[in-house]
Structure 1
Amino acid sequence: MKDMLLQVEPLIPALRRYARALVRNRANADDLVQDCLERAVSRWYQRRDGDVRAWLFTILHNLAINQFRKSATRGWHVPIDEANQDDFGEAAAQEQKLMYQDVLDKLARLPEDQRAVLLLVAVEDLSYADAAKVLNIPLGTVMSRLSRARERLRQEIEGIADNASTNVVSLRSEK
């Protein structure tokens, strides 16, 4: 038990970050991490030798996917008594917060498969091989999705993505 605690406890902040990026709600992210840790503890004997970090991120990712599937069929509902201030949103007080939110919005526009790879590799610092294990995809797929995600995010930030071009009016020169 002590061995498990020493391996799992330092990974909790990274799990919370990844969960928060996936579900975009602090309370739901904490619940997701709690479910992940409960599953990891109850199935500790089933893990294979290797990186505990990749195993935990796999559990978290699979739980999030299951949660997305359930919410897609049920819809989103929060009783007013249980809602917190984050559920209603608030105006940004500083430019930094606006920029941060802008990047999160642009990240949310990425396709799910590209966003997951980008978060695991760039934010959580998993190797390509570990990200491939977490997502259960080939290594080459991780690299191509990461490349496409980075390029698309760059285009979104620079304002040259496909949907941004619809706001541009082309001018014709007449002599």
Structure 2
Amino acid sequence: MTSTDYAMYIAGLPRVLAGAAALFRDTEGRVLIVEPNYREGWTLPGGTIESDTGETPRQAARRETAEEIGLDVELGALLAIDWSHGTGRPPIVAYIYDGGVLPEERFAAIRLQEEELLSWKLIDRAEAAAHLPGQLGLRVVAALDVLARGNGPVELENGHPVR
């Protein structure tokens, strides 16, 4: 196979998007979520992995968190990885890392990236499904379950644990 043939082969492969986020909690166990200005609904701090730069999922979660909310925090364990099918888009592989439990003063230091975010708030586990659309809500609950049980990470497909 020539290099041109190989390049054509690679260009013809199916595309998969990849994203990474951090799950930050307060001392009461509530989860930090952010409201983007470019689409409806709430999400976790995080974003797209820049694989063309060699960025890893963990690096992306940390970079995006620092950019979006001004918190540059060394992330803990991988909590969940989700293969998420979509309509009108390629599948997404979504990683969630443990951002840890932050004291009040860290939340007070949050500075939103105005180009992308409108606001932030803390929600409890029961509110996850109501505030986080579809599979993301399921993904967050699964990640919280990993933290509660002390095991993990959990493998998910469309937000549901793979058994």
**Structure with greater helix percent:** 1
Between the two structures, name the one with larger relative contact order (CA 8 Å, sep ≥ 6): 2
TM-score calculated relative to the size of structure 2: 0.33
Higher strand share: 2
| TM-score (ref. length: structure 1) | 0.31
